Chain A
Amino acid sequence: MANILIARNVTKTFGGLVAVNDFTLDVAENSISSVIGPNGAGKTTFFNCVTGFYKVDEGEILFGGGLIHNLRTDVVTRKGISRTYQNIRLFANMSAIENILVGQHPRLKTFWAAAVWKSKGFVEEEAAAVEEARRLLKFVGLQGLGDQLARNLPYGAQRRLEIARALASQPKLLLLDEPTAGMNPNETGEMTRFIQHLRDELGVTILLIEHDMRVVMGISEQVTVLDYGSKIAEGKPKQIQSNPRVIEAYLGRGAASGLKAVKAGKH
């Protein structure tokens, strides 16, 4: 299988702090891959490097065979990468459906001024976009909530809406930053099933960030473990669970969830 995303020796520093250190990662097309690691390991920073929000200090990032680490964020998005955020970042004062419509932006092509005289092309494209937004709303299970302001939606619905917004650009690669953060075990289970469903239904490659190991074990084909910015392990979920360096990384930080996850994996 071809690799859709390749990161080679990526390093990103903030002042003296090396947030991502000589990190190499291959993401196979159509897979669900995960990057895990304790809080502050550099996972989000890596995402920000991929999307062009941060400029990498060293190394290179390839997407679909082309270099992307020097491109602006909006250009990277247009190439087919979209993302969600660890702490939900919706357009709070816009309705749910408008959030999705913004997500469709890269696919809309009519000249902006055509909206003034409502050219045929504009009207058609707009109607199709609204139709598509409604469909996505339904797909993530939010039908009927489309006209609510994003900030008035319940937490779980906001997470789903953020995913719908990210899907709206029809990306080839979807980056999910801790999609189950702040959820109870029930909601977490539901979200993981939903992520699996996403890939199976839409064929989109998914790269997932988590600090809680349990979430990713069931659904990932490949897991990469990051600690203090460096890769300490990589492989199938089974191999990761028994890797002593990984256990140490989680236990060393006193992360109770890591310990529980390891135990849960062993029985």
Chain B
Amino acid sequence: MKTIQWRTTLRYGLLGGVAALYFSAIGMVELFAGRNLVGTTINMGHILLYGGVVAAGFLAARSEAHARLPQRLVIGLVAGLVAAVPTIALVLLDSVWDMEAIFVSMNNPLIRLLTLGRGLPGLGMFLAVCGALGLAGGGYNSMPGEHKAAGARALALVLIVAIFSDLVTQVMSNLFGRGSLSLFFAGKALKPAVAIVLFVLMGAVFYFRAVRKARTPLDPEKVKVDKRTRLQRQVVQFVVVGIILLVAPQVLGSFLSQVLFEVGRFVLLGLGLNIVVGYAGLLDLGYVAFFAVGAYTMGLLTTATGLNMGGGVMNFWLALPVAVLISVLFGILLGFPVLSLRGDYLAIVTLGFGEIVRILALSDWLKPIMGGAQGVLFIPTPHIFGVTFDTPQKMYYLVVLGALLAAFVSIRLRDSRLGRQWMAMREDEDVAEAMGINLVQTKLLAFAIGAGFSGLGGAIFAARLGNVFPHSFNLLISLNALSLIIVGGMGSIPGVIVGAVALVGLPELLREFQEYRLLIYGILLIVMMLNRPEGFLPAEVFKRELHAEEGELAGTGD
């Protein structure tokens, strides 16, 4: 029999403990504790505080591949107990010296939380809770595969519903009336009974699905679908997605439509940057510049004060293509000086460009035109055929149209010669040139088209807000757009959408925690890079050889 590696157990325990300690000391636990998830028993603070403990028990038990169930339970228990130690030490330290002087967040509410409201003796309970959770983590690890997956999914689902209850309640009240809410929710939290029922129900559903899938092995005859069925499926998918996009703002209401608008805006930005970074491999950190150009062009052309011409020169619909065009021109203009730069050098220089554009907009020199810090005010709301785009719901349609257009153009170009030029350049610039590819043209086209999408986003953004301020165009926008591409999957269009929802949409729903947005971003990016560097939805290889000859070659088996 093998001996247990207690060092590993200890290490996982301490890691979980340090995570709990860290989130406590920076004040996250206390802030998050204000948000109940299930009744008043489980809140978001608990997730932060104890999540690492459960994970420690789970991982420690998993690292012992040959251990039997009782051993795993003991390992989990030990890891959980160890995980409690750092936090206990901190609380004890605080009882001797007041730690609030060092960690401003080490205040009484937090101590009360960590001692479960019982003063120092409560630490014993904290230890017990951690031990139990570690034990649970270890025990969970020993469950058979289907149970494990079903349990984890059901738990994740309940937590997601509870965490994003704003979204769920909004949809429910719009669909079934406000009365339906009190049946399931108490404030923002799920009612405990509802949570349990949901967990059991979904657990069962996931479990039986997994069992059924395991029982029916993949039948190659059934998996292979002929061209017509595939086409039909595609049409159905299109229609479903279209209907969802169409009715979403009606079902979701004003606030959530605003969130969707934000997501759409970043999908547009992401699609543009995806061409530059994802396809062409040109790391552009000044991408916000083109967004600013589009927004300012819209502002200056449509306002009475803009360009000092007395009266708006154009309406929204005329100004929109002009804004895109000017952004494209800027894309080419800023592309020229960086043609010969690669990698980090390109990143640094474009970073500078982004800042230059913002600072120029802020400058006194351009103040007579751009309005300096005051920006451009009173941009008229677009209207057409008697419809005025005066609500978030209506603006949402505009940005969705823009994003659809960008996605369409992206897909078409990706699957064409130009797309291959970009990707070849991304893979190996020298070889791409040796294949007869004109690098200057290929790079400038990437910058120009990327800038065009960004400018389109900027122009719509300006019309939506009704004003443009230089500070809306800071570096963070570029970084946001870049992060969402990385998280979604470089060069993947569905990835851009998933990335925008995850990094822009979800944080909007958790406005209470704005302060920690960047921290969560950072953690998410690190976890992504370590575990899934290709992103959530990596770009798929387009099947060209077997596509047409499916019948023949699938038959021969290679």
Contacts and interface: CB of A to CB of B under 8 A. Distances in A.
A126 to B, nearest CB: 7
Interface stretch (A19-27, A110-118, A179-187, A235-243): A110-118
Interface stretch (A57-65, A84-92, A216-224, A226-234): A84-92
Given A97-B544, A112-B417, A147-B545, A91 B423 contact: yes
Contact of B546 (A106, A126, A133, A147): A147
A118 B412 contact: yes
Interface string A24-59: 000000000000000000000000000101000000
Interface stretch (B108-116, B319-327, B435-443, B502-510): B435-443
B558 A144 contact: yes
Contacts of B420: 94, 98, 101-102, 105
Given A74-B439, A146-B545, A116 B434 contact: no
Contacts of B421: 102, 105
B435 A165 contact: yes
A93 interface: yes
Contact of B542 (A74, A98, A110): A98
Given A73-B433, A74-B436, A144-B553, A133 B416 contact: no
Contacts of B423: 91, 93-94, 98, 102
Contacts of B419: 115
Contact of B434 (A51, A110, A118, A149): A51
Interface in B220-241: none
Contacts of A205: none
A145 B412 CA distance: 25
A103 interface: yes
B543 interface: yes
B515 interface: no
Interface size class of chain A, counting residues whose CB lies under 8 Å from the partner chain:
35 or more
A169 B435 contact: yes
Contacts of A98: 420, 423, 542, 544
Contact of A106 (B427, B428, B436, B558): B436
A95 interface: yes
Contacts of B424: 91, 94, 102
Contacts of A110: 417
Nearest to B490: A93
A51 B432 CA distance: 13
A82 interface: yes
B94 interface: no
Contacts, number: 115
Given A94-B424, A102-B424, A115-B417, A53 B434 contact: yes
Most chain-B CB neighbours within 10 Å: which of A83, A94, A102, A130?
A102
A122 B408 CA distance: 17
B390 interface: no
A78 interface: yes
Contacts of A95: 541-545
A77 interface: yes
A146 B436 contact: no
B416 A91 contact: no
Nearest to B417: A108
Nearest to B428: A89
B197 interface: no
A233 B437 CA distance: 36
A112 B437 contact: no
A81 to B, nearest CB: 9
A139 B553 CA distance: 17
Contacts of A214: none
Nearest to B539: A93
B445 interface: yes
Interface in A148-174: 149, 165, 169
A51 B430 CA distance: 11
Interface in B47-97: none
Interface in B382-431: 408-409, 412-413, 415-421, 423-424, 427-428, 430-431
Nearest to B545: A146
Contacts of A74: 433-439
A92 B281 CA distance: 14
Contacts of B445: 112
Contacts of A105: 417, 420-421, 435-437
Contacts of A93: 423, 427
B235 to A, nearest CB: 18
Nearest to A150: B427
A73 B546 contact: no
B441 to A, nearest CB: 9
A72 interface: yes
Nearest to B421: A105
A77 B434 contact: yes
B382 to A, nearest CB: 25
A134 interface: yes
Given A94-B424, A144-B553, A115 B434 contact: no
Contacts of A92: 427
A144 B543 CA distance: 11
A85 B431 CA distance: 9
Nearest to A108: B417
A173 B438 CA distance: 20
A132 to B, nearest CB: 12
A82 B542 contact: no
Interface string B190-204: 000000000000000
Interface string A122-140: 1000100010011001000
Contacts of A97: 544-545
A116 B436 contact: no
Nearest to B413: A115
B434 A94 contact: no
B267 to A, nearest CB: 19
20 contacts: A51-B434, A53-B433, A73-B433, A77-B434, A82-B435, A85-B431, A89-B430, A91-B423, A91-B424, A91-B427, A102-B420, A103-B435, A108-B417, A112-B418, A112-B445, A115-B417, A137-B545, A145-B545, A147-B544, A147-B546
User: 3 smallest A-B Cβ distances: which pairs?
Assistant: A146-B545, A115-B416, A106-B436
Interface of A: 51, 53, 72-74, 77-78, 82-83, 85, 89, 91-98, 101-103, 105-106, 108, 110, 112, 115-116, 118, 122, 126, 130, 133-134, 137, 143-147, 149, 165, 169
Interface of B: 408-409, 412-413, 415-421, 423-424, 427-428, 430-439, 445, 541-546, 548, 553, 556, 558
Given A51-B434, A96-B545, A102-B432, 18 more contacts: A91-B424, A91-B432, A94-B420, A94-B424, A97-B544, A102-B423, A105-B420, A106-B435, A112-B416, A112-B418, A115-B413, A115-B418, A116-B408, A118-B412, A130-B544, A144-B545, A149-B541, A165-B435
